[in-house]
Structure formats: structure tokens, C-alpha cells
């Protein structure tokens, strides 16, 4: 039974949470007057409502207003929030404290920061029980063990005696969910609870939330930016755009027949899981070849033997001009390590890295210098990959200046590159903080292209972007690759993104390439069990995203 078949229609009896005409004011001088404007929706008993929107849509603000956790700069300007028919819009802090955990509770995105690192997990759950119930220590212990078993954690006795750092990300999120549900609240608010997790873990957590809410009849307000997740668990969907509710309806209704243009655009921007199937020239010259590439980190302790971590082992990749090779894997699989070895940001421990035939794996700084410009990289975080104290122009011409290009000529080229990445030439004199994430990523691409590289590495380059922006940047990368006949190494954890851009795919797990071949083969006939598990876990497989849904 797949999770989707378990979804039953919501119980019509009474709403757990009713939000009516809610408006939340932003401080004066913000880019808009209201973080949330006249939003109304309800969450019924046993119902999962997904609140979907891009960054800045106000979805988290709604969650915070319900929990009474709004930052001091924001306040509810109008409207009401009712929890089990009690108006809590302006409830006192003391009342809210009684309600939290007993009637409503929240699960956050990052389980590591939601848990106190210096208190054992069991004691953190115990704290909730101690505050809200009169149970004896023995009863509390029994209740804790029960809920740990319920969130399907192995060996409950060991888990409650562990500190958060001793558990994996998925286990930590289970602890947070256990803590949220231990008093059987009527409403669970989950704010991007699986965004920080790997795709296989995400699938397990989603299933857990579904199971638990079904068993306890909890109403769930699930906040996410990911339509795949929506397709997996939602009963109803509310789509937010810049603080306004643009569409509200049953899941299949919204996903298959979206009425609002914005929803249609968002769903259309989600890449499909089908490979693009573009023809590639097989005899193009080889740009990148790695042979037996390995990186081992050794930690030398004062006592005992050195501990070794094999971040990457025996990686053999080949990439020809005009092609895109994807490295797909979960966190810790070694995919970024491989990229950083190829750019020589770190030194490989063994093996060869051949750039256009020359092995650069062991070259010293001086010999490496002329080859550096052939390989350029675009990083994941657009907010940290530009020096905040340098203008965009300075950033783009830095590389060419290093290689002796006269300043005027470099600036002229920077202007043309900005045009290529669809940005105004006036951007040259401005500073990075004046641009959005997507624009910054374009600037980073322009900076990389200024070196006229033969190989462009995109290390999770679109992962931090909203889905609509992501689609634009992907399209831009594709266009540039064709126009400049570049080889592209595309590193991502997102199978949908990989399907859209890659000709070849290497799947990595625990430092090794477990499956490597043409994208068509990997996506349509995965051989290795790990690859198959990855596809199993990809949320929203059943829905055909990407192709813009028909307008009715």
C-alpha cells in the first residue's frame, strides 16, 4: 500500500483550526505592507492541509501566529485564529503556554536546533509531560517509551538516554515529532519538517506523520515549498503568494486542474522525473576524466590509531564537450568531495583528474595556475558565494584580471556576460546584497564564465532557489552549455533536476559510484538497489509535473 492510497477523505466534524480574514502587518519600510493579507482557511479533525508557497509568501508567519510565536516586529492586524472554537488571536502568553503541546504543537525544519544539545532526548520529552500533567515519574517514563515506540525508533531505552548529536537527522526529527505528539494535541503544525532531510529519510518521515495523524485523528497544517511532498500527503492544499491566498482546494483538484495562473506556473516549474532524452554527440573531445579518484580524511588522535574517513573512493568519470554529467546522491555520499577535488579546492588522496588530457591531481600551485581557468564552479548558497564588500563588476572581472586581461577589456566582457545571463549592465556597480538569490546565482554563473572555462561545475547550484527561479536558472544553464559548447558537471540531490539536465548520471552512495550510465537508462531502468530506493522515495512520483497542466 502506498501512502497515497491510505488517504481518506477528511472527517467533516468541526474544524480544529479556523483562520478567518487573517492579516499580519509588516513593520513600516518593508517591501509590502502585510506579511499575510486576509487569509482564511480551516484545518479539520484528521485532515492534512498543505500550505504551499515560495520564500517570502508568508507561510511560516501564519504558523508562527497560530503558535503565538510571531517575532516582535510583526503583529496580527485583523482577523481571528480559532483553535477548537477558542479564539486565540490575542490570547495571553500564560494561556498559550497551556495550549502548546496539549492542543497544538509544532515540528520545525531543522531537528538539530529544535532539540537542546545538552539534554538527553528522554528528558526533553519528559519536560513536556512534567509541565502539563500530574503523572508520576514511573507513568511518565512509560508514556515516553510508548511514544518512542510509536514513532518507530529502535531500542527506546537507548534512544531516551542519548543526546541529540548521537542520533541521525531522521531519528532526531522522530524525537521532535514524538515530543510534539506525546500529549495528543488536536493540531500539529509542521513547518518544512522534511526539507533538511535526505530523500529516503523524507519518505519515511512523511509516512510516519501520515500514520500518526491517522491513528490519533490529528489535524495537520503542513507547510512546504515542495509540490512532490504535497502530492504525497495533502488532503487539501492552500497556495500562498506574497501573503495572499490564491487557491484553496482538494489536492487532486489543485494539482491536476489548478485554476490560478500562479499555481499553474508553480506546478509547471516542477521538473519531471522523465529524462529529457536529448541526442548527444558521442565523439566529442574528452574534457574531464577521473581515474580511481579518492579522498581520505585521516584524523590523527593523540592515543590509539588514526581514524580514517573515506569521503570518496575509486571514482571513475568521463565527460565530453557539450555534455552534462550529473552526480546524484544524498548528503555524505561524497558528491561534493569529488567536485572539490576536480577544482582542486582540496587535494585528492589518490587517482588522476585529467582536464583536457592533463593530469592535475598532483600538480603544485604554480603548475596548476594555467589549468585553473579551464574548470569553474558555481556553489549552492547564492548568499555566501559573493564577497559582500565587492561590487558585482569587481567579482566578475577578478578572474580575468588574475590572468592579465586589461581592466577595460575585462569590464567590457563582464557587461556582455551579464547580458548573457539576462541581467542589466547597471548591475556592475551594485553590491551583491541588492540582488535576490536567483540574480546572485546568475552573477556567479557570469563570474565562472568570465574565465572562459571548458568545464563548468554546478555544485547544487539550484538547490537553494525557489522552484520558479530554479526553472529559470536551469534553463539558463542549459542555454549557456549549448551556446558555448561547454561540458557541465551537475551535482545535485534532486532527481527531478538531474532528469531535466543530465545526459549521463553517476549515482553516489557512501563515497562510491554505485551506478553510472546514460540518464535514460538510470531513470527508466535503474539496476542498483540504492538507485531504486532513491526513486521509490522521490515524493510525488504519481503526478506528472513539469508539463503545464491543461487549463479548463
Query: Apex CA 489: angle with CA 485 and CA 492, to 5°?
Result: 135
Q: Which is nearer to other proteins, 181 or 343 (CB)?
A: 343
For residues 183 and 64, give the distance between their C-alpha atoms in angstroms, rounded to a whole number: 20
Q: Which of 31, 118, 389, 551: binder of other proteins (CB under 8 A)?
A: 389
Q: Which of 156, 219, 243, 399: binder of other proteins (CB under 8 A)?
A: 399
Q: Which is nearer to other proteins, 300 or 389 (CB)?
A: 389
Shortest spacing between CB 345 and other proteins, in angstroms: 5
375 binds other proteins (CB under 8 A): yes
Q: With CB under 8 A as the contact rule, which of the stretches 8-16, 285-293, 384-392, 521-529 interacts with other proteins?
A: 384-392
Q: Are 183 and 101 in contact (CB under 8 A)?
A: yes
Q: Which is nearer to other proteins, 27 or 137 (CB)?
A: 27
Q: Which of 33, 161, 309, 345: binder of other proteins (CB under 8 A)?
A: 345
Distances (CA, A) of 292 to 286, 314, 315, 316: 17, 4, 5, 6
Nearest C-alpha neighbor of 38 from the set 91, 80, 74: 80
Shortest spacing between CB 339 and other proteins, in angstroms: 11
Q: With CB under 8 A as the contact rule, which of the stretches 170-178, 281-289, 330-338, 376-384 interacts with other proteins?
A: 376-384
Q: Which of 130, 384, 407, 422: binder of other proteins (CB under 8 A)?
A: 384
379 binds other proteins (CB under 8 A): yes
Relative orientation angle of helices 437-449 and 392-402, to the nearest 10 degrees:
20
Using CB under 8 A as the binding rule, the residues of this chain from 50 to 109 that contact other proteins are: none
Q: Are 159 and 171 in contact (CB under 8 A)?
A: yes
Shortest spacing between CB 389 and other proteins, in angstroms: 5
Distances (CA, A) of 171 to 41, 162, 308, 357, 496: 32, 11, 25, 46, 26
Q: With CB under 8 A as the contact rule, which of the stretches 112-120, 288-296, 329-337, 390-398 interacts with other proteins?
A: 390-398
Q: Which of 273, 377, 449, 464: binder of other proteins (CB under 8 A)?
A: 377
Q: With CB under 8 A as the contact rule, which of the stretches 39-47, 397-405, 497-505, 541-549 interacts with other proteins?
A: 397-405
Instruction: Give the three cell numbers for residue 256.
Output: 491536476
Q: Which residues contact 30 (CB under 8 A, 6 or more apart)?
A: none
Q: Which of 372, 413, 493, 496: binder of other proteins (CB under 8 A)?
A: 372
Shortest spacing between CB 348 and other proteins, in angstroms: 16
For residues 444 and 231, give the distance between their C-alpha atoms in angstroms, rounded to a whole number: 33
Instruction: Give the three cell numbers for residue 254.
Output: 489543485
Calculate the CA 360 to chain-centre distance.
33
Shortest spacing between CB 343 and other proteins, in angstroms: 5
For residues 202 and 538, give the distance between their C-alpha atoms in angstroms, rounded to a whole number: 9
Q: Are 360 and 348 in contact (CB under 8 A)?
A: no
341 binds other proteins (CB under 8 A): no
Shortest spacing between CB 92 and other proteins, in angstroms: 24
Shortest spacing between CB 385 and other proteins, in angstroms: 4
Instruction: List, as one string, the DSSP characters of 92-151.
Output: -HHHHHHHBTTTEEEE-S-HHHHS-TTS-HHHHHHHHHHHH----HHHHHHHHHHHHHHT
Shortest spacing between CB 399 and other proteins, in angstroms: 4
Shortest spacing between CB 334 and other proteins, in angstroms: 18
Q: Which of 90, 307, 369, 422: binder of other proteins (CB under 8 A)?
A: 369
SS3 at position 240? strand
Residue 323: is it exposed, middle or buried by C-beta count within 10 angstroms (0-12/13-18/19+)? buried
403 binds other proteins (CB under 8 A): yes
For residues 440 and 381, give the distance between their C-alpha atoms in angstroms, rounded to a whole number: 9
For residues 163 and 123, give the distance between their C-alpha atoms in angstroms, rounded to a whole number: 10
376 binds other proteins (CB under 8 A): yes
In 357-469, where do the E strands start and end? 358-359, 375-378, 455-459
Q: Torsion over CA of 324, 338, 335 and 547, rounded to 10 degrees?
A: -10
Q: Which is nearer to other proteins, 345 or 524 (CB)?
A: 345
Shortest spacing between CB 404 and other proteins, in angstroms: 11
Q: Which of 373, 510, 528, 541: binder of other proteins (CB under 8 A)?
A: 373
385 binds other proteins (CB under 8 A): yes
Shortest spacing between CB 166 and other proteins, in angstroms: 25
490 binds other proteins (CB under 8 A): no
Per-residue x/- marks for other proteins, 155-194, CB under 8 A? Answer: ----------------------------------------
Per-residue x/- marks for other proteins, 217-246, CB under 8 A? Answer: ------------------------------
Taking phi over 0 as left and psi of -120 to 50 as alpha, with beta for the rest, 73 belongs to alpha
402 binds other proteins (CB under 8 A): yes
For residues 46 and 63, give the distance between their C-alpha atoms in angstroms, rounded to a whole number: 18
Using CB under 8 A as the binding rule, the residues of this chain from 427 to 486 that contact other proteins are: 444, 447, 451
Instruction: Give the three cell numbers for residue 167.
Output: 542520533
387 binds other proteins (CB under 8 A): yes
Q: Which of 282, 304, 357, 388: binder of other proteins (CB under 8 A)?
A: 388
Instruction: Give the three cell numbers for residue 474.
Output: 536551469
Shortest spacing between CB 450 and other proteins, in angstroms: 8
Q: How many residues bind other proteins (CB under 8 A)?
A: 26
Interface residues toward other proteins, by CB under 8 A: 343, 345, 369, 372-373, 375-377, 379-381, 384-390, 395, 398-399, 402-403, 444, 447, 451
Amino acid at each position: 500500500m502506498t501512502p497515497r492510497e491510505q488517504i481518506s477523505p477528511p472527517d467533516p466534524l468541526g474544524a480544529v483550526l479556523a483562520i478567518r480574514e487573517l492579516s499580519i502587518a509588516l513593520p513600516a519600510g518593508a517591501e509590502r505592507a502585510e506579511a499575510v493579507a486576509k487569509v482564511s482557511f480551516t484545518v479539520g479533525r484528521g485532515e492534512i492541509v498543505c500550505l504551499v508557497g515560495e520564500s517570502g509568501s508568508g507561510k511560516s508567519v501564519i504558523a508562527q501566529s497560530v503558535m503565538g510565536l510571531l517575532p516582535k516586529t510583526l503583529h496580527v492586524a485583523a482577523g481571528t485564529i480559532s483553535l477548537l472554537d477558542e479564539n486565540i488571536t490575542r490570547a495571553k502568553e500564560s494561556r498559550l503556554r497551556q495550549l502548546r503541546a496539549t492542543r497544538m504543537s509544532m515540528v520545525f525544519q531543522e531537528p538539530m536546533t529544535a532539540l537542546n544539545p545538552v539534554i538527553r532526548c528522554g528528558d526533553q520529552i519528559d519536560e513536556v509531560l512534567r509541565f502539563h500533567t500530574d503523572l508520576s515519574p514511573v507513568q511518565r517514563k512509560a508514556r515516553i517509551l510508548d511514544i518512542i515506540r510509536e514513532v518507530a525508533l529502535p531500542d527506546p531505552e537507548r534512544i531516551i538516554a542519548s543526546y541529540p548529536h548521537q542520533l541521525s537527522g531522521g531519528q532526531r526529527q522522530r524525537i521532535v515529532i514524538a515530543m510534539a505528539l506525546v500529549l495528543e494535541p488536536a493540531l500539529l503544525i509542521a513547518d518544512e519538517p522534511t526539507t533538511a532531510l535526505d530523500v529516503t529519510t523524507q519518505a519515511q518521515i512523511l509516512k510516519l506523520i501520515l500514520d500518526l495523524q491517522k491513528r490519533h485523528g490529528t489535524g495537520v497544517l503542513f507547510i512546504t515549498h515542495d509540490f512532490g511532498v504535497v502530492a504525497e500527503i495533502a488532503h487539501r492544499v492552500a497556495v500562498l503568494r506574497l501573503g495572499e491566498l490564491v487557491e484553496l482546494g482538494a489536492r487532486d483538484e489543485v494539482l491536476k486542474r489548478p485554476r490560478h495562473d500562479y499555481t499553474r506556473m508553480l506546478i509547471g516549474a516542477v521538473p519531471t522525473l522523465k529524462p529529457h532524452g536529448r541526442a548527444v554527440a558521442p565523439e566529442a573531445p574528452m574534457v574531464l576524466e577521473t581515474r580511481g579518484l579518492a579522498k581520505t580524511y585521516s584524523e590523527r588522535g593523540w592515543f590509539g590509531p588514526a581514524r580514517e574517513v573515506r569521503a570518496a573512493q575509486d571514482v571513475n568519470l568521463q565527460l565530453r564537450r557539450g555534455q552534462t554529467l550529473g552526480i546524484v546522491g544524498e548528503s555524505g555520499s561524497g558528491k561534493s568531495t569529488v567536485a572539490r577535488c576536480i577544482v582542486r579546492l582540496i587535494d585528492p588522496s589518490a587517482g588522476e583528474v585529467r582536464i583536457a588530457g592533463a593530469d592535475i591531481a598532483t600538480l603544485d600551485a604554480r603548475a596548476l595556475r594555467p589549468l585553473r581557468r579551464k574548470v569553474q564552479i558555481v556553489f549552492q548558497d547564492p548568499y555566501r558565494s559573493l564577497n559582500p564588500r565587492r561590487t558585482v563588476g569587481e567579482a566578475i572581472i577578478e578572474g580575468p584580471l588574475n590572468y592579465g586581461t586589461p581592466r577595460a577589456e575585462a569590464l567590457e566582457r563582464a557587461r556582455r556576460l551579464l547580458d548573457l545571463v539576462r541581467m542589466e549592465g547597471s548591475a556592475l556597480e551594485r553590491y551583491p546584497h541588492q540582488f535576490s538569490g536567483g540574480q546572485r546565482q546568475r552573477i556567479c554563473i557570469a563570474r565562472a564564465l568570465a574565465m572562459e572555462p571548458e568545464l563548468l561545475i554546478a555544485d547544487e547550484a539550484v538547490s537553494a532557489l525557489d522552484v520558479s527561479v530554479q526553472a529559470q536558472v536551469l534553463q539558463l544553464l542549459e542555454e549557456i552549455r549549448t551556446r558555448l559548447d561547454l561540458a557541465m558537471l551537475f551535482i545535485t540531490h534532486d532527481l527531478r533536476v538531474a532528469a531535466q539536465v543530465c545526459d549521463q548520471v553517476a549515482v553516489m552512495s557512501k563515497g562510491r559510484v554505485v551506478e553510472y550510465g546514460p540518464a535514460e537508462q538510470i531513470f527508466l531502468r535503474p539496476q542498483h538497489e540504492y538507485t531504486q530506493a532513491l526513486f521509490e522515495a522521490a515524493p510525488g512520483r504519481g503526478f506528472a509535473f513539469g508539463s503545464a497542466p491543461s487549463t479548463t
